[in-house]
Amino acid sequence: MQTAFHLFLKLGFDHILGSKAYDHILFVIALCAIYKLAEWRKLAILVTAFTLGHSLTLALAALDVIRFPSPIIEFLIPVTIFLTAISNLFVPNEKEKKRINLNYFFALFFGLIHGMGFSNFFKSSLMPGEENQLVGQLFSFNLGVELGQLVIVGMILATSFVAFNIVKIKQREWTLFISGAAAGVAVILMVNAKFW
């Protein structure tokens, strides 16, 4: 028999890797665009900052402390993707990466927005009569999301390793391609959002 911990861990993991989470996946891809495999620790911390942000708003939304209309969140999530992708274009060389520490703040802040996007799915998954286990369910769900995000990070870093070392693509070209594609999709998502 599956425990609530394992159930919500799997729900979080499957949710971030599911077809309906393409916007969150795209955000993680945009975050990864400026990093090499050797920088995986920095990237793991960046993704964890994003997780902390969405964990906070997911908890507050699940407890009905905050509420935002879905159309606004549906619009703001692609805005975070677009801004992340565009900011990648202004990291011209390795020396400039020192300013990327600011990205930890942005990942945390953008995570707050993405947490609202997770909240409806999470609320619909809560087990009736087990409100007293909300903290444990939130923890295991967020842990599942974090593990799913790290899988995406691993796949992107492996792909970039092949691109840089086997195909011999320059990092700047890779960043432009990935960030440009992410920004383009984000614009389409913004235009198609029910916000308008």
Q: Contact at 8 Å (CB) between 104 and 45?
A: yes
- Among 97, 115, 96, which residue's Cα sits nearest to residue 107? 115
Instruction: Report the distance separating Cα 155 and Cα 112, nearest Å.
Output: 24
Q: Per-residue confidence of the chain (196 residues) as pLDDT tens digits?
A: 568 888 889 988 988 888 888 888 999 999 999 999 988 888 888 888 998 998 899 888 877 788 888 888 889 999 999 999 999 888 655 555 555 567 788 888 999 898 888 777 777 776 666 556 777 888 898 899 889 999 999 999 999 999 999 999 999 999 999 999 999 999 999 999 876 5
In the chain, the number of structural domains is: 1
Instruction: Report the distance separating Cα 113 and Cα 192, nearest Å.
Output: 18
Instruction: Report the distance separating Cα 66 and Cα 112, nearest Å.
Output: 12
CB atoms within 10 A of CB 101: 10
Which pLDDT belongs to residue 98? 55
Question: Sign of the CA dihedral 124, 84, 14, 39?
Answer: negative
- Among 47, 81, 70, 48, which residue's Cα sits nearest to residue 178? 81
Q: Which domain holds residue 50?
A: 4-192
Which pLDDT belongs to residue 71? 86
Which pLDDT belongs to residue 44? 85
Instruction: Report the distance separating Cα 184 and Cα 179, nearest Å.
Output: 8
At 113, which helix (H) or strand (E)?
Answer: helix 101-125
